Chains A and B, each alone.
Chain A
């Protein structure tokens, strides 16, 4: 007959309890962890603020070269059959000149007048864009031409100039038109 194992005595049970208790950290060991939660809060706040701020200040640059003098017309590198497009910003709208002569009002053929007159007192950038696309597509020789000359009345503001550069750069679908801008000195 198997004998029942001897149970632990009271002293042995007490010793087991004492030895198996989790060891408490000494007071100096407890203070070793630095509380970085407030610091973390500040970092997260700054991070969110900066991410929110930079989202509204994206900038870009438009590349250009020194302005051509009054007498300089076609540059030497331009082929004789080039379109040689010039956009002149005047008070009444956009006057456009090409190698064939002055573009007539409505961007229809050659003739005197303002090619793209103002619409409701505002410059018509959409019509300028269409006219630039039409002129570029009028001859296969113009397909590789990217430069456009830009001149304006002395009082024309910078925003209008940038908007004209945008209008002649590409079509709304993204087809490149004239992205090489050269400024001309106003008379």
Chain B
């Protein structure tokens, strides 16, 4: 008996088996179109943000140029982060980012410090009035912050960022003025070096 010219068909079970086999074969040959780097990108971005934040907060952000070059030291301690930053460059004194006064030439600095016009009572006085005024205000703010943090508010701390050619006389004037304004501890900022001399 014929079926009217229609070719004989395999049973459905065999057809399905053949289809599964063909699908498996094709699936195995597929290529991976792209690499999933999202996780790696996440890690990279986190590291970058962390480094930027660390750099911004640390003293490494202190600019080093002709006017301001930190002295070298063999000390290996971690730099202090707490305290009002007082910068003494070759030409000026700053409290935070605010310029307090312009400095005269080095010869004059070594003899009489910042000069009589910035002192309370003549060139031999050690108190620098414009710096003292700024430190009074900084001390008030720092005192409130220390009280809020539960720290000892009887005195404040200062970070001294001074150029390596700063004469001792000027350094003492700055430290003396800080002491007169209830700053009881100073951190002298230096650059770590294997051999300082």
Interaction A to B? yes
With A54-B55, A159-B164, A165-B73 known as contacts, the answer to whether A20 contacts B171 (CB < 8 A) is: no
Chain B interface helix/strand/loop/mixed: mixed
| Contact A157–B166 (Cβ < 8 Å) | yes
Q: How far is the CB of B181 from chain A (nearest CB, A)?
A: 10
The reply on B80 being an interface residue by CB < 8 A is: yes
Identify which of B18, B62, B172 contacts A183 (C-beta below 8 A). B172
The reply on A154 being an interface residue by CB < 8 A is: yes
- Tally chain B residues at the interface, Cβ within 8 Å: 74
The reply on A26 being an interface residue by CB < 8 A is: no
Chain A to chain B contacts (Cβ below 8 Å), 25 pairs = A20-B19, A36-B41, A39-B41, A40-B40, A40-B44, A47-B51, A58-B60, A58-B192, A60-B189, A61-B79, A61-B80, A62-B190, A152-B168, A154-B111, A158-B71, A158-B163, A158-B165, A158-B166, A159-B164, A161-B71, A162-B164, A165-B73, A183-B175, A185-B126, A185-B172
> Which 10 pairs, one residue from A and one from B, show the smallest C-beta to C-beta distance?
A66-B179, A155-B110, A20-B22, A154-B169, A61-B187, A159-B164, A158-B166, A152-B168, A159-B71, A59-B59
Identify which of B37, B45, B78, B169 contacts A155 (C-beta below 8 A). B169
The reply on A51 being an interface residue by CB < 8 A is: yes
Identify which of B18, B74, B171, B189 contacts A161 (C-beta below 8 A). B171
| Contact A22–B30 (Cβ < 8 Å) | yes
Q: Which residues of A does B touch, CB under 8 Å?
A: 5-12, 15-17, 19-22, 33, 36-37, 39-40, 43-44, 46-47, 50-51, 54, 57-67, 89, 125, 152-159, 161-163, 165-166, 169, 183, 185-186
